[in-house]
């Protein structure tokens, strides 16, 4: 039984017992043929005593419940921002990014009981919990988000986005978007919602990676392969920054 329901049930039981005790007290006086005034006095005395106890009981339980609610979390507690803040979320409208990883991490993802499971090969993964879901190929890459002005991980499962990026990379007029000298930004435009969501990709002007972005990327090491083990690539990067050369295209 949940904690709050147990308190309500206990209060109800005590109330019924006290009401029963008052009723039995009045019947006893009447069965003994006592003076009605004595009976009324006795009932008033009994009721007064029991009502006082009843009120104290209710007050105590009310204080217990209030104390429990107040003590559950401190008044100044704030939910910490989780690692999800480091991952690119494509909102409706435009999201401007600069890809930093020389190559994306390519693998497969399956959502099992609300948690992502990743592996290089789809055969290594369990089936998704939802029957309408499926194992998907993903690309994960380190990017700079011009809107949030921070280093993030962009995980792509949308086939339309992957197709456009693949075509840009293979086009000699555009080439590798992560190149520190000749790379270019990407504008992702999201429209619609649900199954009607659409994504448009527009490449930006090619040119050297701005020095301030290069410096921020250098100070924010990311180990993308940690995703395969269910670890946080940013935390792993901080503890193993000496192994980050492959994820920093300008070194």
User: What is the pTM assigned to this prediction?
Assistant: 0.63
Residues 75-122 pLDDT 10s: 554 544 444 458 999 999 999 999 999 999 999 999 999 999 999 999
CA 140 to CA 121: how far, in whole Å?
A: 15
| Residue carrying structure tokens 């301030």 | 212
203 - beta bridge partners? Answer: 186
Asked whether residue 52 falls in the same domain as residue 100, the answer is no
Q: Can you give the pLDDT at residue 239?
A: 85
Q: How many domains is the chain partitioned into structurally?
A: 2
Identify whether residues 94 and 183 lie together within a single domain. yes
**Quick one: 67 and 98 in the same domain?**
no
Distance between CA 45 and CA 56 in Å, rounded?
A: 17
- Model pLDDT for residues 162-201, shown as the tens digit of each residue: 999 999 999 999 999 999 999 999 999 999 999 899 999 9
Do residues 95 and 58 both lie within one domain? no
For residue 150, give its domain range. Answer: 83-104+140-247
- Among residues 49, 72, 95, which one ends one of the domains? 72
């Amino acid at each position: 039984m949940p904690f709050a329901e147990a308190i309500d049930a206990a209060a109800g039981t005590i109330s019924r017992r006290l009401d029963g005790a008052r009723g039995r007290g009045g019947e006893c006086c009447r069965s003994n043929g006592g003076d009605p005034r004595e009976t009324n006095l006795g009932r008033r005395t009994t009721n007064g005593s029991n009502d006082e106890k009843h009120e104290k009981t209710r007050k105590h339980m009310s204080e217990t419940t209030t104390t429990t609610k107040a003590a559950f979390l401190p008044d100044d507690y704030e939910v910490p921002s989780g690692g999800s803040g480091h991952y690119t979320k494509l909102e409706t409208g435009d999201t401007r990014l600069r890809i930093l990883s020389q190559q994306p991490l390519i693998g497969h993802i399956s959502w099992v009981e609300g948690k992502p499971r990743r592996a290089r090969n789809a055969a290594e993964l369990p089936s998704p919990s939802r029957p309408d879901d499926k194992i998907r190929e993903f690309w994960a890459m380190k990017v700079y988000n011009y809107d949030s002005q921070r280093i993030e991980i962009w995980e792509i499962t949308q086939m339309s986005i992957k197709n456009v990026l693949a075509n840009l990379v293979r086009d000699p007029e555009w080439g590798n978007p992560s190149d520190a000298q000749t790379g270019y930004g990407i504008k992702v435009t999201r429209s619609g919602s649900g199954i009607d969501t659409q994504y448009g990709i527009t490449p930006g002007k090619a040119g050297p990676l701005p020095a301030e972005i290069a410096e921020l990327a250098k100070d924010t090491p990311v180990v993308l392969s940690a995703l395969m083990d269910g670890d946080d690539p940013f935390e792993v990067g901080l503890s193993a920054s000496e192994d980050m050369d492959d994820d920093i295209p300008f070194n």
